[in-house]
Chains A and B, each alone.
Chain A
Amino acid sequence: MAIELKMPALSPTMEEGTLAKWLVKEGDAVKSGDILAEIETDKATMEFEAIDEGTIGQILVAEGTDNVKVGTVIATITGDGEEAAAPTPAPAAEAPKADTPKEDVPKKAESGTEQLVVKAKAAVADPAIPEGTAMVRLTVREALRDAMAEEMRADDRVFVMGEEVAEYQGAYKVTQGLLDEFGARRVIDTPITEYGFAGLGAGAAMGGLKPVIEFMTFNFAMQAIDHIINSAAKTNYMSGGQMRCPIVFRGPNGAASRVGAQHSQNFAPWYASVPGLIVIAPYDAADAKGLLKAAIRTEDPVVFLENELLYGRSFDVPDLPDHVLPIGQARIMRPGNDVTVVSYSIGVGLALEAADQLAGEGIDAEVIDLRTLRPLDTATVLASLKKTNHLVVVEEGWPVCSIASELAMVAMEQGFDDLDAPVMRVCNEDVPLPYAANLEKAALVDVPRVAAAVKAVRNRG
């Protein structure tokens, strides 16, 4: 009986990949550990090893095939002494549809993070972008990379430092290609030393450079938070405006897929509570690019919170030589009159999706993307509240001491007379993020919860 080799999942979120290259051909004898093929995802190229001994029977997916779904049979191996028997019927197409998995493929465990990624996009153009500007389609990942590359071309003081940013091309491929263009002087791989290189970066900024410090994820920045807060954020104040620390700390933040409690957390409210820091958390690729460029240019220290689940999503990005956006300005993603739904980062997608659904039920929601969390653009939120008289905050993060609770207080203090109902927040459950797929789903915010909150707040008045 021939053994079927299936397209492997190289990460919990991988659904398909490119079969880049076969390193064996039909009839080759292989043994356990031999490398059979190279498989590419948008994050990485991986080698696919044989687990069984035998002879390659048939190669069913040709090299160079894109979008091969995980679980697709890509080749067969016959055991010792067996004839290279006819393989099980090959799929009709080289890249079969994902919705027709073979029955013996075990169902891939779902992740709660799937409910976080929706197709929603801004319903209206960003007024900061000139009308008629041509657009290019970029992933958030590419947009971030382009932002760094453009700023590095413009200013020799800018350099990128972090774990695996150079030769590995970025743990999440955000720094892909930077080493080739800018060399090892400006794209620097560090040891696994968050506290040390965050401090080194802050010192280099004090000494006149403009570091971009990548944390592989913000979970690991906890090792370095002393330098972000005590060294970077307070320097200008403590020195009476004499000494500056123009540095960007960036990396993915928030829940990732099935990685458990220590690798899934939204630190936005932590950093946003610190005077002296700028905190930015963009949703789409255009904002990611325009705001990262602004973050690199400013003389203030910036915490720039990205989201791993959004890195691979594509959006329209203005095709401008220098697309820079203002820090500290929220963006109305969808205008509406009945209720204001405020969010940031990945939560913006949920808010937009819920707004689309609610439109079908006669509720006209206005969706605001805060984009910058410190300084917070309360004016845009309060102006919207004045119009809609209802406020819901959506946040992929814990509810206690959150951006949501801060906005509720802002509404109390400055918009009380405009409120027809109490502010509601839609946040993750108040627990460490669990590993089990069903519990993870239950812990994270989703579109139905946003829609339910909007309806509830509308029913109060």
Chain B
Amino acid sequence: MAKAPARKPAAPKKTASTPAAATNREQPRDPVSYDATPEELEKFYREMLLIRRFEEKAGQLYGLGLIGGFCHLYIGQEAVAVGLQSALDGDKDSVITGYRDHGHMLAYGIDPKVIMAELTGRAAGISRGKGGSMHMFSVEHKFYGGHGIVGAQVSLGTGLAFAHKYRDDGGVAMSYFGDGASNQGQVYESFNMAELWKLPIIFVIENNQYAMGTSVNRSSAEDQLYRRGESFRIPGMQVDGMDVLAVRGAAEAALEWVRAGKGPVLMELKTYRYRGHSMSDPAKYRSREEVQAVRDKSDALEHLKKVMEEAGITEDKFKAIDKEIRAIVADSADFAESAPEPELHELYTDVLVEQY
């Protein structure tokens, strides 16, 4: 269930100079859990399972040395990208995120083969092998990356929103960032301009509790991150990011607000990553028990599966979906392993667009 932000009881006023509580400002409506059709439930499940299996396979290929450098897996956070992106208008709205970007691309329906081939650095990769895990883009899908500098996508996303408003094309930008990025200065520079100019943007904090190895409590003076926009008058929503229906429901409330021209919304999605920050992270900063407890109690796929079982979907159906997804992922891995590397002349292409 999406949670509305806890409202603080108003403190008794002692002096006339105490500022009025901000609660009488207009807020987006309280979100409600999304009432999905059985077809939609199955679609969400498929997409989330594809992300999970894809990321597991990427982890394996990394272990085999087929994927190099940094590789940040999305396992555990699947409901966030799937829930939010299902609410967007693919023809109009734009999306941008940081380096943990495989899940967002899969949630967009981008071919897993070209994503996996980018991870293995092959010519058939979506960035022709020149971007890698952290730098993938699909202008066709209005997916603007894939950015390796923590927090940069927040300013860039604000620029995408600026372009929507400038062209008056009705589009909304969605800018994903983590709890770690939420402490970057440019995030607040962007908040200020976004609200000042009422830009159509949803700022999404994927709070997976750890900025690399530093927990939110050890890094953030205000650890209720949905409140981080308050001094810019940006309304905040805190959402259960392990429940895809809650995420989708909250996205609709946020989109209503933004599409009505009322400016940005800040969504905090409480989620969890099961794997380390990147493949090279031994994750010593938390216990195995903590991770296991989240898996047991809050896993996004298990949660959705229960909802689907209640809706009458049978175990056979789940098995069939699982088999199908495993085949897609295996194909993408085969493709990514066997596709040729870029030709050497590609080293010098795409540095500049024009000839001088």
Contacts and interface: CB of A to CB of B under 8 A. Distances in A.
Same complex origin of A and B: yes
Interface of A: 159, 185, 190-191, 193, 195-209, 211, 226-227, 230-231, 235-244, 246, 275-276, 278, 298-300, 326-328, 372, 375
Interface residues of B, number: 49
Interface string B123-151: 00111111100011111000011111100
A298 to B, nearest CB: 5
A300 B135 CA distance: 19
A199 B130 contact: no
B127 A240 contact: yes
Contacts of B211: none
B193 A227 contact: no
B96, B152, B196 — most chain A CB neighbours (10 Å)? B152
Given A200-B156, A203-B157, 11 more contacts: A193-B189, A195-B186, A199-B158, A204-B160, A207-B160, A207-B164, A230-B149, A241-B349, A242-B138, A246-B353, A372-B356
Contacts of B148: 230
A236 B351 CA distance: 7
Given A203-B144, A242-B127, A278-B352, A227 B192 contact: no
Interface string B82-125: 00000000000010100000000000000000000000000001
B130, B136, B144, B352 — most chain A CB neighbours (10 Å)? B352
B163 interface: yes
A202 B156 contact: yes
Contacts of B149: 226, 230-231
B167 interface: yes
A211 B156 CA distance: 13
Nearest to A297: B354
Contacts of B351: 236-237, 275-276
Interface in B318-356: 349-354, 356
Contact of B352 (A185, A203, A227, A236): A236
Given A199-B190, A204-B159, A227-B152, A238 B166 contact: no
A458 to B, nearest CB: 33
Given A185-B166, A238-B131, A242-B139, A203 B189 contact: no
Contacts of B130: 237-240
Given A159-B166, A240-B131, A207 B159 contact: yes
Nearest to A211: B159
Nearest to A161: B162
Contacts of A278: 352, 356
B142 to A, nearest CB: 9
Interface of B: 94, 96, 125-131, 135-139, 144-149, 152, 154-164, 166-167, 173, 185-186, 189-190, 192-193, 196, 349-354, 356
A111 B137 CA distance: 50
7 contacts: A196-B155, A197-B189, A200-B156, A209-B162, A238-B146, A299-B354, A300-B353
A191 B159 contact: no
A326 B356 contact: yes
A212 to B, nearest CB: 13
Contact of A196 (B144, B161, B192, B356): B192
A193 B166 CA distance: 20
Contacts of A199: 152, 154-156, 158-159, 186, 190
**SS of B interface (majority):** mixed
Given A196-B186, A209-B166, A240-B127, A203 B160 contact: yes
Contacts of B157: 203
Nearest to A275: B351
A203 B127 contact: no
Contacts of A300: 352-354
B156 A276 contact: no
B137, B159, B167, B186 — most chain A CB neighbours (10 Å)? B159
A327 B356 CA distance: 6
Given A298-B354, A326-B356, A372-B356, A230 B193 contact: no
A238 B351 CA distance: 9
A332 B140 CA distance: 45
Contacts of A298: 353-354
B128 A241 contact: yes
Nearest to A276: B351
Contacts of A204: 159-160, 162-163, 166
Nearest to A239: B137
Contacts of B131: 238-240
Contact of A198 (B138, B155, B185): B155
Nearest to B158: A200
Nearest to A205: B159
A195 B193 CA distance: 12
The 8 closest A-B pairs by CB, nearest first: A203-B159, A199-B155, A196-B189, A240-B128, A328-B356, A207-B163, A203-B156, A299-B353
Contacts of A242: 126-127, 137-139
B128 to A, nearest CB: 3
B127 A193 contact: no
Contacts of B189: 191, 193, 195-197
B126 A240 contact: yes
Given A206-B159, A231-B152, A236-B351, A191 B192 contact: yes
B183 to A, nearest CB: 14
